[in-house]
């Protein structure tokens, strides 16, 4: 049985490396937003963002370790980070990135299983669960 998501191992490692880049992007973006978002209405979400930031570092570490384990070279490239003076727009950018990551990890989990890499799929489980939480936190803060 083949699925639309099916990839070979080399492509899978390349995609994991792209995932790693998006986590570096999250680390920079959250660091910037925590320092720049102001206003009483954002106090509680900024506290949440600080918790996200710590988890993004662990996501980056997990991805780099899996790339290395699979024989790849963990990347160090950071995609461009959006800067936003407006707090709401900054949070919308965070939500876009988290939503994209959730899609990526769902796909990566399925691909790992298709490649019979159950151990790699399991290592992605915290990324899936925590990324969904981050999406929920941001949706709640934005009221959508
Ligand atoms: Fe993450
Ligand atoms: Fe996240």
CA atoms within 13 A on the CB side of 71: 4
Does the pLDDT of residue 114 top 70, yes or no? yes
Q: Cβ neighbours of residue 31 under 8 Å, at least 6 residues apart? A: 53
Nearest CA-CA partner of 55 in 15, 105, 111, 93: 105
Which ligand is closest to the CA of 124, given by its number?
Answer: 1
pLDDT digits (tens, 9 = 90+) for 49-67: 999 999 999 999 999 999 9
pLDDT digits (tens, 9 = 90+) for 12-46: 999 999 999 999 999 999 999 999 999 999 999 99
Compute the distance from residue 2 Cα to the ligand 2 centre, in Å. 30
Compute the distance from residue 22 Cα to the ligand 2 centre, in Å. 10
């Amino acid at each position: 049985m083949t699925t639309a998501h099916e990839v070979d191992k080399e492509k899978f490692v390349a995609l994991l490396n792209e995932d790693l880049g998006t986590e570096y992007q999250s680390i920079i973006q959250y660091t910037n937003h925590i320092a720049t978002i102001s206003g009483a209405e954002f106090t509680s979400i900024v506290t949440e963002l600080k918790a996200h930031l710590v988890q993004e570092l662990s996501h980056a570490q997990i991805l780099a370790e899996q790339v290395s384990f699979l024989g790849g070279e963990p990347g160090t490239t950071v995609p461009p980070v959006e800067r936003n003076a407006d707090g709401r727009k900054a949070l919308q950018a965070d939500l876009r990135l988290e939503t994209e990551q959730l899609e990526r990890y769902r796909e990566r989990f399925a691909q790992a299983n298709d490649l019979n890499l159950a151990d790699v799929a399991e290592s992605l489980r915290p990324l899936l669960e925590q990324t969904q939480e981050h999406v929920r936190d941001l949706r709640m803060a934005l009221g959508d």
